[in-house]
Amino acid sequence: MTSRDEILHALEGVIDPELGRSVVELDMVRDVVLDGGRVGVTIALTVPGCPLRASFQEQVDRALLPLEGVEEIALSFDVMTPDEKAALTTKLRGGVAERTPGIAVDTKTRVLAVASGKGGVGKSSLTANLAAAFSRLGHRTGVLDADVYGYSIPHMLGIHQRPIAVDEMIVPPVRGDLKVMSIGFFLDENTPVMWRGPMLHRALEQFLSDVHWGELDTLVVDMPPGTGDVAISLGQLLPRAEAVVVTTPHAAAQQVAVRAAQMARKTNMRLLGVVENMSWLEREDGTREELFGSGGGEALSREVEAPLLGRIPFDPRLGSYSDRGEPIVDVEPEAPVSRALVALAEAIAATKREQGIGIVKPLPLVSA
Protein backbone atom coordinates (compact mmCIF):
# COMPACT_ATOMS: atom_id res chain seq x y z
CA MET A 1 0.00 0.00 0.00
CA THR A 2 1.24 3.47 -0.87
CA SER A 3 2.26 5.72 2.02
CA ARG A 4 1.65 9.41 2.56
CA ASP A 5 5.29 10.14 1.79
CA GLU A 6 5.07 8.27 -1.48
CA ILE A 7 2.03 10.29 -2.40
CA LEU A 8 3.80 13.53 -1.61
CA HIS A 9 6.76 12.35 -3.63
CA ALA A 10 4.50 11.62 -6.60
CA LEU A 11 2.88 15.04 -6.24
CA GLU A 12 6.26 16.66 -6.79
CA GLY A 13 5.57 16.17 -10.49
CA VAL A 14 2.46 18.36 -10.32
CA ILE A 15 3.46 21.78 -11.60
CA ASP A 16 1.52 24.98 -11.09
CA PRO A 17 1.15 26.07 -14.74
CA GLU A 18 1.53 29.76 -13.94
CA LEU A 19 4.15 29.64 -11.23
CA GLY A 20 6.07 26.97 -13.11
CA ARG A 21 7.12 25.09 -9.98
CA SER A 22 6.01 21.96 -8.19
CA VAL A 23 3.07 22.26 -5.81
CA VAL A 24 5.06 20.35 -3.21
CA GLU A 25 8.03 22.65 -3.50
CA LEU A 26 5.73 25.65 -3.18
CA ASP A 27 4.01 24.18 -0.09
CA MET A 28 0.68 24.24 -1.83
CA VAL A 29 -0.28 20.72 -0.75
CA ARG A 30 -2.39 21.27 2.33
CA ASP A 31 -3.61 17.85 3.11
CA VAL A 32 -3.18 14.24 2.10
CA VAL A 33 -5.71 11.81 3.55
CA LEU A 34 -5.50 8.09 2.94
CA ASP A 35 -8.57 6.00 3.35
CA GLY A 36 -8.22 2.54 1.86
CA GLY A 37 -7.91 3.01 -1.89
CA ARG A 38 -9.18 6.56 -1.67
CA VAL A 39 -6.74 9.44 -1.52
CA GLY A 40 -7.91 12.92 -0.56
CA VAL A 41 -5.63 15.75 -1.60
CA THR A 42 -6.14 19.43 -0.90
CA ILE A 43 -4.18 22.02 -2.82
CA ALA A 44 -4.10 25.62 -1.62
CA LEU A 45 -4.27 28.05 -4.51
CA THR A 46 -3.28 31.69 -4.62
CA VAL A 47 -6.75 32.85 -5.61
CA PRO A 48 -10.21 31.34 -5.28
CA GLY A 49 -11.74 30.17 -8.53
CA CYS A 50 -8.39 29.72 -10.21
CA PRO A 51 -9.00 28.90 -13.90
CA LEU A 52 -6.31 26.23 -13.84
CA ARG A 53 -8.16 23.71 -11.71
CA ALA A 54 -8.62 21.32 -14.61
CA SER A 55 -4.90 21.22 -15.17
CA PHE A 56 -4.27 20.37 -11.51
CA GLN A 57 -6.93 17.67 -11.58
CA GLU A 58 -5.41 16.08 -14.64
CA GLN A 59 -1.88 16.27 -13.29
CA VAL A 60 -2.82 14.87 -9.88
CA ASP A 61 -4.68 11.96 -11.50
CA ARG A 62 -1.69 11.27 -13.71
CA ALA A 63 0.68 11.36 -10.74
CA LEU A 64 -1.31 9.28 -8.29
CA LEU A 65 -3.40 6.76 -10.20
CA PRO A 66 -0.40 4.60 -11.16
CA LEU A 67 0.52 4.18 -7.47
CA GLU A 68 -0.16 0.84 -5.92
CA GLY A 69 -3.51 0.56 -4.19
CA VAL A 70 -4.76 3.98 -5.27
CA GLU A 71 -8.23 3.60 -6.68
CA GLU A 72 -9.89 6.91 -6.28
CA ILE A 73 -8.67 10.49 -5.93
CA ALA A 74 -10.63 13.28 -4.33
CA LEU A 75 -8.94 16.57 -5.12
CA SER A 76 -10.16 19.67 -3.41
CA PHE A 77 -8.94 23.24 -3.40
CA ASP A 78 -8.43 25.83 -0.76
CA VAL A 79 -7.06 29.36 -0.75
CA MET A 80 -3.76 30.37 0.78
CA THR A 81 -3.71 32.46 3.91
CA PRO A 82 -1.93 35.84 3.78
CA ASP A 83 1.02 34.27 5.61
CA GLU A 84 1.23 31.45 3.11
CA LYS A 85 1.13 33.94 0.26
CA ALA A 86 3.93 35.94 1.83
CA ALA A 87 5.99 32.77 2.19
CA LEU A 88 5.27 31.88 -1.43
CA THR A 89 6.37 35.32 -2.60
CA THR A 90 9.65 34.95 -0.76
CA LYS A 91 10.20 31.52 -2.21
CA LEU A 92 9.47 32.64 -5.75
CA ARG A 93 11.69 35.69 -5.50
CA GLY A 94 14.59 33.65 -4.22
CA GLY A 95 17.11 32.73 -6.86
CA VAL A 96 16.30 35.59 -9.20
CA ALA A 97 19.36 37.76 -9.41
CA GLU A 98 18.35 41.35 -8.84
CA ARG A 99 18.77 43.70 -11.69
CA THR A 100 16.92 46.61 -10.24
CA PRO A 101 15.75 49.19 -10.86
CA GLY A 102 13.45 47.82 -13.46
CA ILE A 103 12.37 44.52 -14.73
CA ALA A 104 12.73 41.55 -12.43
CA VAL A 105 14.18 38.86 -14.62
CA ASP A 106 17.26 36.83 -14.11
CA THR A 107 20.45 38.18 -15.65
CA LYS A 108 20.60 35.05 -17.80
CA THR A 109 17.30 35.91 -19.46
CA ARG A 110 17.60 37.50 -22.83
CA VAL A 111 15.37 40.55 -23.09
CA LEU A 112 14.45 41.55 -26.64
CA ALA A 113 12.83 44.94 -27.07
CA VAL A 114 10.85 45.12 -30.30
CA ALA A 115 10.83 48.80 -31.21
CA SER A 116 9.77 50.99 -34.10
CA GLY A 117 9.98 54.62 -35.04
CA LYS A 118 6.26 54.83 -35.73
CA GLY A 119 3.07 52.89 -35.23
CA GLY A 120 1.44 50.37 -37.50
CA VAL A 121 4.56 48.68 -38.83
CA GLY A 122 3.61 45.33 -37.33
CA LYS A 123 5.54 45.53 -34.09
CA SER A 124 2.91 43.74 -31.99
CA SER A 125 2.27 41.11 -34.65
CA LEU A 126 5.98 40.38 -34.80
CA THR A 127 6.29 40.34 -31.02
CA ALA A 128 3.48 37.81 -30.59
CA ASN A 129 4.67 35.58 -33.42
CA LEU A 130 8.30 35.85 -32.50
CA ALA A 131 7.46 34.74 -28.97
CA ALA A 132 5.52 31.78 -30.38
CA ALA A 133 8.51 31.02 -32.63
CA PHE A 134 10.96 31.08 -29.70
CA SER A 135 8.66 28.79 -27.81
CA ARG A 136 8.66 26.39 -30.76
CA LEU A 137 12.45 26.47 -30.69
CA GLY A 138 12.31 25.28 -27.10
CA HIS A 139 13.05 28.54 -25.32
CA ARG A 140 11.21 29.24 -22.09
CA THR A 141 9.56 32.39 -23.36
CA GLY A 142 7.68 35.35 -21.98
CA VAL A 143 5.94 38.21 -23.78
CA LEU A 144 5.63 41.62 -22.24
CA ASP A 145 3.22 44.05 -23.81
CA ALA A 146 4.62 47.39 -22.71
CA ASP A 147 2.81 49.49 -25.27
CA VAL A 148 0.86 51.79 -23.00
CA TYR A 149 -0.83 53.44 -25.98
CA GLY A 150 -2.19 50.39 -27.70
CA TYR A 151 -1.77 47.16 -25.82
CA SER A 152 -2.78 44.37 -28.13
CA ILE A 153 -0.80 41.29 -27.18
CA PRO A 154 -3.43 39.61 -24.95
CA HIS A 155 -5.93 39.93 -27.80
CA MET A 156 -3.45 38.59 -30.37
CA LEU A 157 -2.61 35.62 -28.17
CA GLY A 158 -6.17 34.96 -27.03
CA ILE A 159 -5.50 35.59 -23.35
CA HIS A 160 -8.72 36.18 -21.50
CA GLN A 161 -7.74 35.48 -17.93
CA ARG A 162 -6.35 38.22 -15.75
CA PRO A 163 -3.02 37.97 -14.01
CA ILE A 164 -3.02 36.70 -10.47
CA ALA A 165 -1.69 38.95 -7.74
CA VAL A 166 0.02 37.26 -4.82
CA ASP A 167 0.77 39.93 -2.28
CA GLU A 168 2.72 42.47 -4.32
CA MET A 169 3.75 39.98 -6.93
CA ILE A 170 1.94 39.68 -10.24
CA VAL A 171 1.91 36.28 -11.90
CA PRO A 172 1.56 36.32 -15.68
CA PRO A 173 -1.18 34.21 -17.26
CA VAL A 174 0.06 31.42 -19.49
CA ARG A 175 -0.87 30.34 -22.98
CA GLY A 176 0.61 26.92 -23.53
CA ASP A 177 4.26 27.43 -22.70
CA LEU A 178 4.15 31.20 -23.13
CA LYS A 179 3.92 33.58 -20.21
CA VAL A 180 2.09 36.74 -21.13
CA MET A 181 1.94 40.06 -19.32
CA SER A 182 0.42 43.27 -20.54
CA ILE A 183 0.34 46.72 -19.10
CA GLY A 184 -3.18 46.71 -20.52
CA PHE A 185 -4.29 44.38 -17.73
CA PHE A 186 -3.77 47.30 -15.38
CA LEU A 187 -5.20 50.11 -17.42
CA ASP A 188 -8.81 51.05 -17.74
CA GLU A 189 -9.76 50.27 -21.32
CA ASN A 190 -11.85 53.39 -21.65
CA THR A 191 -9.38 55.92 -20.36
CA PRO A 192 -6.40 56.82 -22.45
CA VAL A 193 -3.10 56.77 -20.65
CA MET A 194 -2.58 60.05 -18.91
CA TRP A 195 0.61 59.29 -17.08
CA ARG A 196 3.44 61.64 -17.70
CA GLY A 197 7.00 62.15 -16.69
CA PRO A 198 8.10 60.89 -13.29
CA MET A 199 4.68 59.46 -12.47
CA LEU A 200 4.73 57.35 -15.54
CA HIS A 201 8.25 56.24 -14.86
CA ARG A 202 7.38 55.16 -11.32
CA ALA A 203 4.27 53.34 -12.46
CA LEU A 204 6.21 51.47 -15.12
CA GLU A 205 8.97 50.67 -12.68
CA GLN A 206 6.49 49.32 -10.17
CA PHE A 207 4.72 47.28 -12.79
CA LEU A 208 7.91 45.80 -14.18
CA SER A 209 9.46 44.93 -10.86
CA ASP A 210 6.28 43.33 -9.50
CA VAL A 211 5.85 40.84 -12.33
CA HIS A 212 7.11 37.41 -11.46
CA TRP A 213 8.49 35.77 -14.60
CA GLY A 214 10.13 32.74 -13.05
CA GLU A 215 12.83 31.15 -15.15
CA LEU A 216 12.86 32.43 -18.70
CA ASP A 217 15.33 32.09 -21.54
CA THR A 218 13.81 34.83 -23.64
CA LEU A 219 11.48 37.72 -22.93
CA VAL A 220 10.08 39.53 -25.95
CA VAL A 221 8.88 43.07 -25.24
CA ASP A 222 6.44 45.01 -27.40
CA MET A 223 7.68 48.56 -26.88
CA PRO A 224 5.56 51.67 -27.32
CA PRO A 225 6.13 53.05 -30.81
CA GLY A 226 8.24 56.09 -31.29
CA THR A 227 10.94 57.77 -29.35
CA GLY A 228 8.99 59.78 -26.80
CA ASP A 229 9.38 59.85 -23.03
CA VAL A 230 7.44 56.62 -22.52
CA ALA A 231 9.77 54.69 -24.78
CA ILE A 232 12.79 56.23 -23.11
CA SER A 233 11.47 55.52 -19.60
CA LEU A 234 10.87 51.94 -20.54
CA GLY A 235 14.24 51.59 -22.15
CA GLN A 236 15.85 52.65 -18.90
CA LEU A 237 13.89 50.01 -17.03
CA LEU A 238 15.06 47.20 -19.25
CA PRO A 239 18.74 47.02 -18.47
CA ARG A 240 20.79 44.84 -20.78
CA ALA A 241 17.92 44.59 -23.22
CA GLU A 242 18.67 44.08 -26.87
CA ALA A 243 16.68 46.06 -29.39
CA VAL A 244 15.22 44.85 -32.65
CA VAL A 245 13.94 47.70 -34.79
CA VAL A 246 11.05 47.01 -37.13
CA THR A 247 10.59 48.92 -40.34
CA THR A 248 8.65 48.57 -43.59
CA PRO A 249 10.22 48.33 -47.06
CA HIS A 250 9.20 51.85 -47.92
CA ALA A 251 12.20 54.15 -48.19
CA ALA A 252 10.49 56.94 -46.23
CA ALA A 253 9.87 54.65 -43.24
CA GLN A 254 13.54 54.37 -42.66
CA GLN A 255 14.18 57.88 -41.32
CA VAL A 256 11.85 57.42 -38.36
CA ALA A 257 13.20 53.96 -37.72
CA VAL A 258 16.70 55.37 -37.42
CA ARG A 259 15.50 57.39 -34.45
CA ALA A 260 14.19 54.27 -32.75
CA ALA A 261 17.57 52.62 -33.21
CA GLN A 262 19.26 55.67 -31.82
CA MET A 263 16.95 55.74 -28.84
CA ALA A 264 17.68 52.12 -28.10
CA ARG A 265 21.35 52.88 -27.92
CA LYS A 266 20.77 55.97 -25.83
CA THR A 267 19.00 53.89 -23.22
CA ASN A 268 21.95 51.49 -23.18
CA MET A 269 20.31 48.74 -25.13
CA ARG A 270 22.38 46.79 -27.52
CA LEU A 271 21.03 47.28 -31.02
CA LEU A 272 20.75 43.73 -32.22
CA GLY A 273 19.48 44.40 -35.69
CA VAL A 274 16.72 45.37 -38.04
CA VAL A 275 13.63 43.53 -39.26
CA GLU A 276 11.78 44.48 -42.41
CA ASN A 277 8.10 43.63 -42.22
CA MET A 278 5.53 43.35 -45.03
CA SER A 279 8.37 42.89 -47.49
CA TRP A 280 6.34 41.24 -50.21
CA LEU A 281 3.12 39.40 -50.87
CA GLU A 282 3.75 35.82 -51.78
CA ARG A 283 1.23 34.44 -54.25
CA GLU A 284 0.03 30.85 -54.40
CA ASP A 285 2.22 30.25 -57.46
CA GLY A 286 5.29 31.38 -55.53
CA THR A 287 5.73 34.73 -57.26
CA ARG A 288 6.28 37.81 -55.14
CA GLU A 289 4.80 41.25 -55.33
CA GLU A 290 6.38 44.13 -53.49
CA LEU A 291 3.40 45.99 -52.10
CA PHE A 292 5.13 48.65 -50.08
CA GLY A 293 8.28 49.44 -51.99
CA SER A 294 11.62 47.83 -51.35
CA GLY A 295 15.00 48.29 -49.80
CA GLY A 296 13.89 49.88 -46.49
CA GLY A 297 15.33 47.14 -44.32
CA GLU A 298 18.69 47.09 -46.05
CA ALA A 299 18.97 50.85 -46.04
CA LEU A 300 18.19 51.02 -42.34
CA SER A 301 20.63 48.26 -41.57
CA ARG A 302 23.38 50.14 -43.39
CA GLU A 303 22.53 53.40 -41.73
CA VAL A 304 22.50 52.14 -38.15
CA GLU A 305 25.29 49.64 -38.78
CA ALA A 306 23.38 46.66 -37.47
CA PRO A 307 22.46 43.51 -39.35
CA LEU A 308 19.21 42.93 -41.21
CA LEU A 309 17.96 39.96 -39.21
CA GLY A 310 15.00 39.07 -41.36
CA ARG A 311 12.44 40.07 -43.95
CA ILE A 312 8.89 39.04 -43.20
CA PRO A 313 6.41 38.70 -46.06
CA PHE A 314 2.94 40.18 -46.04
CA ASP A 315 0.22 37.61 -45.45
CA PRO A 316 -3.35 38.72 -44.75
CA ARG A 317 -3.94 35.52 -42.79
CA LEU A 318 -1.51 36.75 -40.14
CA GLY A 319 -4.02 39.47 -39.25
CA SER A 320 -7.06 37.18 -39.34
CA TYR A 321 -5.38 34.68 -37.03
CA SER A 322 -4.32 37.48 -34.72
CA ASP A 323 -7.93 38.55 -34.42
CA ARG A 324 -8.80 35.04 -33.32
CA GLY A 325 -6.04 35.07 -30.75
CA GLU A 326 -3.75 32.69 -32.60
CA PRO A 327 -0.21 33.32 -33.85
CA ILE A 328 0.08 32.16 -37.45
CA VAL A 329 3.39 30.56 -36.53
CA ASP A 330 1.42 28.03 -34.47
CA VAL A 331 -1.54 27.50 -36.78
CA GLU A 332 0.21 27.39 -40.12
CA PRO A 333 3.85 26.71 -39.42
CA GLU A 334 4.51 25.87 -43.08
CA ALA A 335 3.28 29.21 -44.45
CA PRO A 336 6.13 31.32 -45.87
CA VAL A 337 5.42 34.06 -43.32
CA SER A 338 5.67 31.56 -40.46
CA ARG A 339 8.90 30.13 -41.81
CA ALA A 340 10.31 33.62 -42.07
CA LEU A 341 9.30 34.35 -38.46
CA VAL A 342 10.89 31.17 -37.15
CA ALA A 343 14.00 31.93 -39.22
CA LEU A 344 14.04 35.37 -37.59
CA ALA A 345 13.90 33.79 -34.14
CA GLU A 346 16.76 31.51 -35.16
CA ALA A 347 18.78 34.42 -36.47
CA ILE A 348 18.26 36.26 -33.19
CA ALA A 349 19.14 33.17 -31.18
CA ALA A 350 22.30 32.83 -33.23
CA THR A 351 23.56 36.32 -32.42
CA LYS A 352 25.88 36.00 -29.54
CA ARG A 353 24.33 37.52 -26.51
CA GLU A 354 26.38 40.23 -24.94
CA GLN A 355 26.03 41.04 -21.30
CA GLY A 356 27.93 44.27 -21.54
CA ILE A 357 26.70 47.61 -22.58
CA GLY A 358 28.51 49.43 -25.28
CA ILE A 359 29.86 48.31 -28.64
CA VAL A 360 28.00 51.44 -29.58
CA LYS A 361 29.18 53.36 -32.53
CA PRO A 362 28.06 56.95 -32.88
CA LEU A 363 25.16 57.19 -35.26
CA PRO A 364 25.21 59.24 -38.41
CA LEU A 365 22.04 61.03 -37.32
CA VAL A 366 22.30 63.38 -34.42
CA SER A 367 18.90 64.67 -33.33
CA ALA A 368 16.23 62.46 -31.87
Q: For residue 144, which phi and psi values (nearest 5 degrees)?
A: -120, 115
Which residue has the closest beta carbon to ligand ATP?
A: 119
| Binding window for ligand ATP (CB under 6 A); candidates: 83-91, 103-111, 116-124, 159-167 | 116-124
Angstrom distance (rounded) from CA 149 to CA 194: 10
* Site residues (CB under 6 A) for ligand ATP, limited to 327-356: 337
Least spacing, CB of residue 152 vs ligand ATP, in Å: 6
Instruction: State the amino acid at position 212 in one-letter form.
Output: H
- C-beta closer to ligand ATP: residue 7 or 143: 143
* Site residues (CB under 5 A) for Mg ion, limited to 105-164: 124, 152
Q: Tell me the C-alpha to C-alpha distance, in Å, between residue 196 and each of 202, 210, 224, 260, 265.
A: 10, 20, 14, 20, 22
The one of Mg ion, ligand ATP, none whose footprint includes residue 120, by CB under 5 to 8 A per kind, is ligand ATP
Comparing C-alpha atoms, which of 114, 115, 118, 113 is closest to residue 256?
118
Give 151's contacts (C-beta < 8 A, 6+ positions apart).
145, 182, 183, 184, 187
Bridge-based pairing of strands 29-35 and 38-45 is antiparallel
Least spacing, CB of residue 68 vs ligand ATP, in Å: 54
Least spacing, CB of residue 335 vs ligand ATP, in Å: 10
Least spacing, CB of residue 255 vs Mg ion, in Å: 20
Least spacing, CB of residue 348 vs ligand ATP, in Å: 17
- C-beta closer to Mg ion: residue 124 or 279: 124
Of 225, 235, 239, 296, the one binding ligand ATP by CB under 6 A: 225
The one of Mg ion, ligand ATP, none whose footprint includes residue 318, by CB under 5 to 8 A per kind, is ligand ATP
- C-beta closer to ligand ATP: residue 60 or 220: 220
* Site residues (CB under 6 A) for ligand ATP, limited to 256-315: 277-278, 312, 314-315
Task: Dump strand ranges (E) for the chain.
Answer: 29-35, 38-45, 72-79, 110-116, 141-145, 164-166, 169-171, 174-175, 178-182, 218-222, 242-247, 270-282, 288-289, 308-314
Angstrom distance (rounded) from CA 221 to CA 296: 23
- C-beta closer to ligand ATP: residue 122 or 142: 122
- C-beta closer to ligand ATP: residue 84 or 315: 315
Neighbours of 24 (CB within 10 A): 15
Which residue has the closest beta carbon to Mg ion?
A: 124
* Site residues (CB under 6 A) for ligand ATP, limited to 142-181: 147, 150, 152
What separation, in Å, do the N-terminal and C-terminal C-alpha atoms of the chain show? Answer: 72
Q: What share of the chain is helix, strand, coil (3-state, %, to 5)?
A: 35, 25, 45
Least spacing, CB of residue 111 vs Mg ion, in Å: 18
Least spacing, CB of residue 171 vs ligand ATP, in Å: 25
Is there a contact between 172 and 134 (Cβ–Cβ < 8 Å)? Answer: no
The one of ligand ATP, Mg ion, none whose footprint includes residue 315, by CB under 5 to 8 A per kind, is ligand ATP
Q: Tell me the C-alpha to C-alpha distance, in Å, between residue 56 and each of 42, 72, 84.
A: 11, 15, 19
Binding site for ligand ATP (CB under 6 A): 116, 119-125, 147, 150, 152, 225, 277-278, 312, 314-316, 318-319, 322, 337
Binding site for Mg ion (CB under 5 A): 124, 152
